[in-house]
Structure 1
Amino acid sequence: MHWHLLSTVLLFGAGAFAAYLKQVTNYNNDAKAKPGMWVYVPDSVKSDALVVAIHSCQSSAQSYFQNSKIPWHQGSDRKGYVTVWPSSTTECWGVSSKASLTHNGGGDSNAIVNMIKYVVTQYNIDPKKVFVTGGSSGAMMSNVLAVTYPDLITAVSLYSGVPAGCFVSASGAAAAWNNTCSGGNSKASPEQWGNVVQAMYPGYNGTRPRMQIWHGSTDGTLSPNNYQETIDQWTNVLGVSITPTSSKPNTPEKNYRMDDFGPNVEGIWAQGVGHPVPSHLDASEAWFGL
């Protein structure tokens, strides 16, 4: 083999088709909010599913993608599904303003849904296989998306968040911090939390996503109280009892407890775990049916 040919093989042979995180600058976003969009398409696409992975505060699509505790691109490589990584233009996601807490309100939630619509068309995704996950602020946004676009999202696995609408800001700021909610002092009945959901997309009475909710018992950033409030919210919205239909200790690992509330709501309480609960790829993929 001639040297120049050999060098070409060495340079391009192994990595010529290696998948990478790619920015999409024009995703047909008509929302006022303009978060960045990044997409990861594995070398071998074996699935028509989409997972949207939403970063926490003071992070970005790129750093979340590279975080060893956020294994979604490894899952993408292994099972062949496309992943989308939104990137916030503010320190945290806009989960405080009416724009984001309303269907087609023009906020971050609206923009992320535009990313989803773009990818569904571009990569032949099955619209019934759109899954959303995130941690902390990303968990809050996952919850907001489930409420404001229930017809577009199949299932959610959120790590260490709060009930949808809990972080609402009196000032109207898109990404304001809410001490009452973060401190676990925003308490309401299941019915009241359900009413918050109805108000975010008035008149909607179609299907809702399946919800998997994770929280750590020693979370010092978003009070563990938010776990039960979120369970209360979704059991009400999905019309099931707040008493678990089954409970599995030490699942998916030691000191974790998995409670099912019928087939569409699952809570995982992580004893002794702080903020946020690390992503559990296998358990989240199982919830998504991947």
Structure 2
Amino acid sequence: MRFRAFVSFLALGVPSFAAQLTQIQNYGGSARAKPGMWVYVPDTVKSDALVIAIHSCQSSAQKYFQNNKIPWKQGSDAKGYVTVWPSSTTECWDVSSKSSLSHNGGGDSNAIANMITYAIKKYEIDPKKVFVTGGSSGGMMSNVLAATYPELISAVSLYSGVPAGCFVSTSGASAAWNNTCSGGQSISTAEHWGDVVRGMYSGYNGTRPRMQFWHGSIDATLSPKNYDETLKQWTNVFGVTTTPTKSQKDTPEKNYRTDDFGPSVQGIWAVGVGHSVPSHLTISEAWFGL
């Protein structure tokens, strides 16, 4: 009887949850850089939103997707949005070279922008619902994308990164490590950091993505001072002060502090947390409006 019931259950056409991470071989565009593009389309698509999840150094789309601490697959399954998982061809993302730090420059950022354009058309995404997240090197790239392709992105939630342009390479090398920036010694004015963003897409005067950034107070890989510099950068871009309009202690959890700087900039400071701050799916999704 149990077997017959099971057969009848299958005959009803109950979904088998066959969704899997799938590589897109040719996502188009003219970028010279060719990182891999992987896509996860949930079994039940209930949203016309898109989330780009960008991995850290020494990782890949597949590893990031399979990491239980990276919750974007679970979010995709629960809320039915498509996710794109770029995969770097180098140890870390190129957030250093002029090609990647310039709009349509041909570098890694250009290639990810091409992935977004491809996904919008292929999966019928609402262009106003494109969101970017990432940790460490992926957090750095999230900042760079916000600066170089603001017209493609509605909001960013990045973890343990540095200001856009902080890792710039004076030699022109791609994916170069910058000890000055990582060590928290790249200290400048808000105006300078804002100019760095504006210079990455010269002449752009359209809407910019809402920025949420997280950093741990004892990060030994990317100095916590990068939180302050990132704060300077985006408050300047949005024309607001570095004085919070709202501050909440023990939010979203104990020993975290959430500071709002108007409606478009939010910093989350994690006391006692190292590198990198764990992903908080619910809070990031809320920032995206998902």
- Matched with 1:272 is 272
1:117 aligns with 2:117: yes
Q: d(CA) in 2 for partners of 1:16 and 1:222?
A: 42
1:252 aligns with 2:252: yes
Q: d(CA) in 2 for partners of 1:71 and 1:100?
A: 27
One-letter code aligned to 2:240: V
Q: d(CA) in 1 for partners of 2:228 and 2:102?
A: 24
Map 1:221-260 onto structure 2 (within 5 A). Answer: 221-260=221-260
Identity %: 76
C-alpha RMSD of matched pairs (Å): 1.6
Superposed displacement of residue 16, structure 1: 4.6
Structure 1 runs of 4+ off > 2 angstroms? 13-17
Map 1:61-140 onto structure 2 (within 5 A). Answer: 61-140=61-140
- Matched with 1:206 is 206
- Matched with 1:286 is 286
Map 1:188-199 onto structure 2 (within 5 A). Answer: 188-199=188-199
CA displacement, residues 233-276 of structure 1 (integer Å, 9 cap, x when unaligned): 00000111110000010001000000000000000000000001
- Matched with 1:40 is 40
Superposed displacement of residue 15, structure 1: 7.3
Q: d(CA) in 1 for partners of 2:16 and 2:129?
A: 30
- Matched with 1:165 is 165
One-letter code aligned to 2:203: G
Q: d(CA) in 2 for partners of 1:59 and 1:14?
A: 35
Structure 2 length-normalised TM? 0.95
Structure 1 length-normalised TM? 0.95
Q: d(CA) in 1 for partners of 2:280 and 2:30?
A: 34
SS at 1:151's partner residue? helix
CA displacement, residues 17-45 of structure 1 (integer Å, 9 cap, x when unaligned): 51100000011132000000000000000
Superposed displacement of residue 216, structure 1: 0.1
One-letter code aligned to 2:288: F
One-letter code aligned to 1:148: T
CA displacement, residues 101-121 of structure 1 (integer Å, 9 cap, x when unaligned): 000000000000100000100
CA displacement, residues 85-116 of structure 1 (integer Å, 9 cap, x when unaligned): 00000000000000000000000000001000
Gaps of 5+ in 1: none
Q: d(CA) in 1 for partners of 2:242 and 2:190?
A: 9
Q: d(CA) in 2 for partners of 1:75 and 1:218?
A: 28
Q: d(CA) in 1 for partners of 2:29 and 2:69?
A: 30
CA displacement, residues 192-221 of structure 1 (integer Å, 9 cap, x when unaligned): 101111111111111100000100000000
Q: d(CA) in 1 for partners of 2:160 and 2:57?
A: 12
CA displacement, residues 34-79 of structure 1 (integer Å, 9 cap, x when unaligned): 0000000000000000000000000000000011110001000000
One-letter code aligned to 2:74: Q
SS at 2:93's partner residue? coil
SS at 1:84's partner residue? strand
Q: d(CA) in 1 for partners of 2:112 and 2:206?
A: 21
Map 1:49-68 onto structure 2 (within 5 A). Answer: 49-68=49-68
- Matched with 2:155 is 155
Q: d(CA) in 2 for partners of 1:195 and 1:177?
A: 22
Q: d(CA) in 2 for partners of 1:157 and 1:174?
A: 24
One-letter code aligned to 1:222: L
Q: Given the superposition, is the C-alpha separation of residues 14 and 20 from structure 1 closer, same or farther in structure 2, using an over 3 Å criterion?
A: farther
